[in-house]
Amino acid sequence: MGLPLARLVAVCLALALARGSELQREARSRNHVCSTWGDFHYKTFDGDIYRFPGLCDYNFASDCRDSYKEFAVHLRRSAGQDGGHPRVESVLLTIKDDTIYLTHQLTVVNGDMVSTPHYSSGLLIEKDSAYTKVYSRAGLALMWNREDALMIELDSRFQNHTCGLCGDFNGLQIYSEFSSDGMHFSAIEFGNMQKINKPEVVCEDPEEAPEPESCSEHRAECERLLTAEAFEDCQSRVPVELYVRACMQDRCQCPQGGTCECSTLAEFSRQCSHAGGRPQNWRTASLCPKKCPENMVYLESSSPCVDTCSHLKDSSLCEEHYMDGCFCPEGTVYDDFTGSGCIPVSQCHCKLHGRLYVPGQEITNDCEKCVCNAGRWVCQDLPCPGSCALEGGSHITTFDGKKFTFHGDCYYVLTKGDHNDSYALLGELAPCGSTDKQTCLKTVVLLTDHRKNVVVFRSDGRVLLNELEVTLPHVAASFSIFQPSSYHIVVKTVFGLQMQVQLVPVMQLFMTLNQAAQGQVQGLCGNFNGLESDDFTTSGGLVEATGSGFANTWKAQSSCHDKLDWLDDPCSLNIESANYAEHWCSLLKKSASPFGRCHLAVDPTEYYKRCKYDTCNCDDSEDCMCAALSSYARACAAKGVMLWGWRERVCNKDVNSCPNSQIFLYNLTTCQQTCRSLSEGDAHCLKGFAPVDGCGCPDHTFMDEKGRCVPLAKCSCYHGGLYLEAGDVILRQGERCICRNGRLNCIPVQLISQSCKPPKMFVDCNNLTALAIRKPRPNSCQTLVAGYYHTECVSGCVCPNGLLDDGRGGCVEAEDCPCIHNKDVHLPGSKIKLDCNNTCTCQRGRWECTHYACHGTCSIYGSGHYVTFDGKHYDFDGHCSYVAVQ
């Protein structure tokens, strides 16, 4: 059974927020921090502080084990401007399969720009007014103030396994960063060893420079700053002497009038906060003032608890330690969704599947209705249907969510009513490969109306009703069948069962039952009672332990043999198939693939496992792989996440083979625009089905009965089992109807009669007397001239016998019919002059013209303008002598 919306929202929030909170709590539990700040200062995991003025790309900290490396952090600094400190220009993180690139403005994950907060696959990225923060379940937390300071915390399991500017994390200062096996390295030598050489980049290493003769003159000032009252809670938590020395170096290197010590003071404050201290506001108007955005205030030590709209979703996101930065005044929070600054809590948006919802906005699915209230979803339960699926010819998911694999060879009862036998759904499973371990769904049989009607769905797309093939759509009293695309057939019944039959690339079946059937069904899809534990209830009423033992009891043919469970992994039998399966099926797990957009809504893990199983187990690996990928796309569509374009790089052999005038679409529904749907209205629009992909019509066109996409004006009309061309006229029940824009537009015959103006009169072709009077003949001047007229009677306002419609609302004798020239009407006897001395006279609606020979004239004028003897105009800009005529 699918997750209800509340659970879905909970999953999203639990993953993106609660898991994020867990990541943060894990990060806070670590006390091993490496950082860099200010004037090229670095602090290693082991506590060394040194200065390295490098401006190249460097390995800041990496997992340096010989086996699989879990993370790497690279950074690049840019030189300071106007005497200011150098800035961290960019940070590149590689965490397992994810690559995160950070600049002052951008956050790029696996090549795609993302907005923050961002969560995917154990990765949380947050951004507030002061810091960009990255938390990973791999055991890493990173904070960057988007200026000069970068800090990384690692899980203790990485001890003695790191390398880079942050050192080896072995718990020993100096060794082995600056001293190893009797060799000593300077800070410059150690830093240069961490350089990342890129073939296309030339970057010079910094050289050794003599230390200033003495910085001791600045000691007293630095000690005063770092032991001020604002840092009272920090003295026992952070080694003050190391930061006093860094402060002294800052003052030594500082240009006249600069305030270079500010970065070291800020770093000391950050380290104090991370150690659990509460530094007070040490900044003043004259000492390192900090400017905040409008409506925000700067606090050196404030809890970011519920300081942003995204944090409102889960109070556990509050950090246990206090941070410096710009904060919203009390009673407001920072809108990190739209970036609109500090707003009242009541104005916070809610977020779901990457989409924002305004306060008060509702979203509803089959199970729940949720309202956005001050950044949180408030949900109430609705009656929820159950879902069952038979995918890949062997994978079954029951109404209550139990999953099992069964390779059958028989007709099996998928689901049926417990008591009254009013309906049943059967599925035929059969071997379809080189072994009996590759099975396919061949046929689906729906028995309804107490078995009076039997509907058979074949894998080749044929649909049979009581053994006779029917064309779709087909609407009956108890069920309706439609085909929104050549890939899919959908069925809706009056007893609450809905089916979606997938035909391409392999046959798959998806069913839903409304809540009224809960606990009242049985079969391979289970009993729909909300419990997985008893889904293997056999036809005899016992609960079996295995899927095969359960499924064999639901055979619909006694002659079929029982099948055994097959527990082998097909990918272990062929390394080539395993590599092929891993290459394509792994797309489901990659956040950079089109499927990554759905990871928060639908967990890809089970689909990935089934994809590999089927791809390795099938003779036609591509078809089985594509069926598994399409199952995930369908599950996402059912959750409202459309995976547009997922077939562009895989499973695309049918994308460019749509019939003429059609295009490939990903959101086809039974409400898709067809000419017939215009005639039948809501009868053609079944609710509750997930959108499907396939060939359909572009916007503003409609599919006619011949599969062509036509504009609205050319749509045929469906009436009484027949199709009428656009413009066709019929009479029904005293009405005259014309097919326009796919619908019959009808006017009562009586109204037509009353609208006739003398001398015209109304003729009703249903009247036998009228039929006798109205013999086939021209009925207008136009048909007289054209020499064509209808031989059948046409009801409407017509001229009396012997008179013709003159096209202006009047009736005239044939001799008095007017003529048309250049859309102007000319009375009989009128003359018009043609070329030369020829004239034309209007007679009985036609122009009678003289045919005197005329002299030809050729004209040459202007700058290269020509008119030939036959009146052809053209331009020719030549610069030679030419023959004009000969």
Specify the residue for token string 């916070």: 348
- Give the dihedral sign, CA 584/586/587/588: positive
pLDDT recorded at residue 886: 86
Residue 748 has pLDDT above 80, yes or no: no
What local confidence, expressed as pLDDT, does residue 18 receive? 42
pLDDT value at residue 793: 63
Spatial CA neighbour of 128 closest among 388, 258, 385, 319: 319
Residue range 153-163, pLDDT digits in tens: 998 888 888 99
104-161 pLDDT, tens digit per residue, is 888 998 888 888 878 776 788 888 777 888 888 888 889 898 888 999 999 888 888 8
Residue 663 host element (H or E) = strand 663-668
Amino acid making up residue 289: P
Query: For position 428, what pLDDT does the model report?
Result: 96
> Tokens 């496992």 label which residue?
609
Least confident of 298-302, 343-347, 637-641: 298-302
Classify residue 219 by burial, with Cβ atoms within 10 Å: 0-12, 13-18, 19+: middle
- Predicted confidence (pLDDT) at residue 488 exceeds the cutoff of 50: yes
How far apart are the C-alpha atoms of 335 and 358, rounded to whole Å?
Answer: 12
Q: What is the pLDDT of residues 816-851, one digit of tens each?
A: 999 988 878 899 999 988 777 889 999 988 889 888
Domain 756-817 CATH (choose: 3.30.420.40, 3.90.1150.10, 3.30.1130.10, 2.10.25.10)? 2.10.25.10
Task: Answer yes or no: are the C-beta atoms of 867 and 873 closer than 8 Å.
Answer: yes
pLDDT one-digit tens code per residue, 233-264: 899 888 899 899 899 888 887 877 677 888 89
pLDDT value of residue 681: 66
Mean pLDDT, residues 534-555: 92
Q: Which pLDDT does position 2 carry in this prediction?
A: 40
Confidence of residue 457 (pLDDT cuts 50, 70, 90): very high
pLDDT digits (tens, 9 = 90+) for 341-380: 888 989 999 988 778 899 999 988 767 889 999 888 899 8
Among 634, 443, 416, which residue's Cα sits nearest to residue 526? 416
Dist CA 474 CA 112 (whole Å): 46
Q: Is the pLDDT of residue 181 over 80?
A: no
Determine how β-strand 743-748 pairs with β-strand 735-740: antiparallel
Calpha distance 306→317 (Å, rounded): 8
Domain 386-554 sits in CATH at: 3.40.1000.10
pLDDT of residue 503: 94
pLDDT top residue among 468 and 806: 468
Q: In the prediction, which pLDDT does 15 show?
A: 38
Amino acid at 758: P
Q: What is the pLDDT of residue 684?
A: 59
Instruction: Express each pLDDT in 774-796 by its tens digit.
Output: 455 677 888 777 776 655 566 66
Calpha distance 707→483 (Å, rounded): 12
pLDDT at res. 489: 92
**Positive or negative: CA dihedral 863, 867, 868, 872:** positive
pLDDT at 571: 93
Average pLDDT over residues 449-457: 92
Q: Read out DSSP for 449-482?
A: TTTTEEEEEETTS-EEETTEE--SSEE-SSEEEE
Other Cβ atoms within 10 Å of 176 Cβ, number: 14
pLDDT of residue 806: 85
Q: Which among 63-77, 562-576, 624-638 has the top mean pLDDT?
A: 624-638
pLDDT exceeds cutoff 80 at 6: no
Dihedral of CA atoms 79, 84, 85, 87 in degrees, nearest 10, equals: -60
pLDDT at 841: 93
Return the structure tokens found at 807. Answer: 């096209």
Residue-wise pLDDT for 91-105, tens only, equals 999 988 889 999 988
Average pLDDT score over residue span 601-624: 93
Structure tokens at 752: 């037509």
Taking the C-alpha atoms of residue 411 and residue 444, their distance in angstroms, rounded to an integer, is 9
Q: What are the tens digits of pLDDT across the range 459-482? A: 999 999 999 999 888 888 899 998
The pLDDT assigned to 625 comes to: 95
> What string of DSSP letters covers 296-319?
-EEEEEE--TT-BTGGGG-GGGS-
pLDDT at 661: 87
Nearest to 563 by CA among 435, 740, 738: 435
- Please tell me the predicted confidence (pLDDT) of residue 551: 95
Q: For residue 734, is pLDDT > 60?
A: yes
Q: What pLDDT is attached to residue 809?
A: 78
Q: What is the mean pLDDT of the chain?
A: 84
Instruction: Over range 698-704, report the average pLDDT.
Output: 87
Q: pLDDT value at position 768?
A: 44
In angstroms, how far is CA 838 from the centroid of its own chain?
A: 71
What integer pLDDT is reported at residue 30 of this predicted model? Answer: 39
